[in-house]
Amino acid sequence: MARYGQPIVSWISCSNYNQNRYCSSPNALLRKFHKQGDDPYEKKLLLSACLALVIAAPAFAANPQPDEKLADNQNLNYWLLDAIKTKDPQLNSAVEGSDVARQLFEGLYNQNYAGELVPGVATDYEVSEDQTVYTFHLRPEAKWSNGEPVTAEDFVFAWQRLADPATGSTYAWYEELMNVKNASAIVAGEVDPSELGVKAVDDHTFEVTLGSPIPYFIKMTTHTSTFPVNRAVVEEFGDQWTLPENMVGNGAYKLVEDKLGQDLTLERNENYWDNDNTVIETIHFQAINDKNAALTRYLAGELDRIELPSGQFPRLKEEYPDQTHAVPRSCTYAYLFNVSEKGPEALKDVRVRKALSYALNRDIIVDNITRGGQKPAYSWTYYATADFQPPVTDYSQWSQEERNEKAVELLKEAGYDKSNPLELTLSYNTSDDHKKIAIAAQQFWKAIGVNVTLNNTEWKVYLDNLKNYNFDIGRYAWCGDYDEASTYLDYFRSGGMNYGGFDDPDYDAVMKASLTAEDPSADYDKAEQILAEEMPLAPIYFYSTPVMVPADVKGLPVDNVLQNWYAKDIYRVAD
């Protein structure tokens, strides 16, 4: 299996997930963007966030191996949990909507399996000396599904449309993030959209001027909100231009039928420039709101990719080992210890925190409770994170018996034993899964002589309690906003989110050093070691998403956390 790749960009999709957790909203990012420069950390966050946006994608064009024979049936049935709200690239704001838009339209650049850029409509580009003017050369053979050529003017129109407040795009901020000249002023309604820093030099030369240089700008052009749209069609049909009878796209597929809320049918676009290398004939996007129903339909052979209902993974993995996969998902589940002023006295003692962390039997939690391919966590940073391997912490190498012994010993040193038991409260927000894990933790801690009371509240109340340091031990999960260790490690800076109130000058110093380091992984390593030593949290498990994909479908990202997929790269092989 390939190296676990880049975790998913979660901050767009986070509302889809039922695990309650913090997600940075686009607005939060944008605020940071405006403030950028005041605080080096802010800048870093932004930079990496944008990198994450563009990382991930399968190979470029379907690429069957010589020993593979293509199947006669080249239809793909892709499952959607919810019907997509719009196919309009500039209006869409959902991950599933992007999955559809990526087949119907094509932007300047695409991505290959490793997340590297590969040419889309643009064949290459040049950058000016001062890094602010990008000139893209568009391939002359690129055509709309109605046969007209795709021109630089189409990009100009789409990019202006994205920023134009009259479009009412909830993704207008993306263009501000790209730092296209005048984008912010246009979004704020101060400047006419025609002032946007984009220009059609000629039919096949598209020029973008940035407000100031952004090194990762080029990677941002794979995002669906920057995809071109056909001006004539949009202007003629207004809101209704995305209906199948009106829509014109430039992607490898065209929309032929839209049964609202049920089934979206795409067929290959004969006018697509790389149509010769496309294999899949028809794509059905089928909306089924129930994961169990989707599983049934999958087993009946009516769907080609599903996410599994919770608890079903082990059984299905055993029955269908070649179809069932646990796809890594960059999130870490943990218990935070309240080490702030307002926290309990006992938790200020590192020995107590260590004892509590050691006593948690993570193997039991992932094997018997979560059961979806999750991995036990002994570090805060997700195990599959680009350019950084979380260090092997000492206690991860011990057996559970050794950990328990050590825990009892530490508690005794701290002055707690059976005659003088430690009393604490474990808080979590409403969810069956959190509850099960909390009950297990209660038992693990009871074994080392710690009495823990469970406290369950609704998410909003719970979050308020966390923010106000109104808890002893609190359940928490963090998902990477971008694929870089700092998305995790920044959390425990004294100025970070840091709900437990952890404040360690060494930690802050290490994180600060990482900003200017050529290779920050040594600093990240130190930071993880400090976390293991000070234990402001007990990491519990690393997330994964259990999926099923038929063995004959090739090119869909399975071994990787990739979320961006292109149907033109997919093919089915004969048995």
Positions in the binding site for other proteins (CB under 8 A) = 27, 83, 85-88, 91, 165-170, 172-173, 187-189, 239-243, 259-263, 286-290, 292-293, 296-297, 299-300, 302
Cα–Cα distance, 136 to 272 (Å, whole number): 19
Please, which residue, 255 or 386, has the CB nearer to other proteins?
A: 255
Instruction: List, as one string, the DSSP characters of 346-384.
Output: GGGSHHHHHHHHHH--HHHIIIIII-SS-EE-SSSS-SS
Please, which residue, 292 or 368, has the CB nearer to other proteins?
A: 292
- Dmax over Cα atoms in the chain, in whole Å? 84
Residue 573's contacts (CB-CB under 8 Å, 6 or more residues apart) are 64, 68, 69, 70, 71, 552, 554
Cα–Cα distance, 62 to 277 (Å, whole number): 6
Q: How far is the CB of 313 from other proteins (least distance, A)?
A: 19
Q: How far is the CB of 358 from other proteins (least distance, A)?
A: 43
Q: How far is the CB of 237 from other proteins (least distance, A)?
A: 9
Nearest to 537 by CA among 504, 574, 575: 504
Cα–Cα distance, 226 to 520 (Å, whole number): 32
Instruction: List, as one string, the DSSP characters of 256-296.
Output: EEEETTTEEEEEE-TT-TTGGG----EEEEEE-S-HHHHHH
Q: Interior CA angle at 226 toward 224 and 231, to 5°?
A: 110
Cα–Cα distance, 56 to 246 (Å, whole number): 31
Nearest to 370 by CA among 402, 336, 329: 329
Pairing of strands 324-337, 306-307: unpaired
Please, which residue, 401 or 575, has the CB nearer to other proteins?
A: 575
Helix (H, G, I), strand (E, B) or coil at 539: strand
Lookup: tokens for 279: 């294999």
Q: How far is the CB of 78 from other proteins (least distance, A)?
A: 14
Q: How far is the CB of 258 from other proteins (least distance, A)?
A: 9
Q: How far is the CB of 239 from other proteins (least distance, A)?
A: 5
Cα–Cα distance, 448 to 432 (Å, whole number): 25
Q: How many CB atoms lie within 10 A of CB 255?
A: 24
Nearest to 333 by CA among 306, 388, 290, 372: 372
Please, which residue, 1 or 166, has the CB nearer to other proteins?
A: 166
Please, which residue, 73 or 292, has the CB nearer to other proteins?
A: 292
Please, which residue, 132 or 265, has the CB nearer to other proteins?
A: 265
- Report which secondary-structure segment, H or E, holds 489: helix 486-489
Length of the chain measured in residues: 575
Please, which residue, 243 or 515, has the CB nearer to other proteins?
A: 243
Please, which residue, 45 or 162, has the CB nearer to other proteins?
A: 162
Please, which residue, 94 or 511, has the CB nearer to other proteins?
A: 94
Under 8 Å between Cβ of 478 and 21: yes
Q: How far is the CB of 20 from other proteins (least distance, A)?
A: 18
Q: How many CA atoms lie less than 13 Å away from 65 in the CB half-sphere? A: 8
Q: How far is the CB of 109 from other proteins (least distance, A)?
A: 26
Q: How far is the CB of 32 from other proteins (least distance, A)?
A: 16
Please, which residue, 85 or 467, has the CB nearer to other proteins?
A: 85
Please, which residue, 266 or 540, has the CB nearer to other proteins?
A: 266
Please, which residue, 247 or 511, has the CB nearer to other proteins?
A: 247
Q: How far is the CB of 314 from other proteins (least distance, A)?
A: 20
Instruction: List, as one string, the DSSP characters of 3-26.
Output: PP-PPP--TTTGGG-SS--B---H
Burial of 227 from C-beta contacts in 10 A (0-12 / 13-18 / 19+): buried
Lookup: tokens for 178: 């790209």
Please, which residue, 164 or 207, has the CB nearer to other proteins?
A: 164
Q: How far is the CB of 519 from other proteins (least distance, A)?
A: 38
150 DSSP 8-state letter: P
Place of tokens 């350019």: 387
Q: How far is the CB of 486 from other proteins (least distance, A)?
A: 27
Q: How far is the CB of 206 from other proteins (least distance, A)?
A: 25
Pairing of strands 473-479, 422-429: parallel
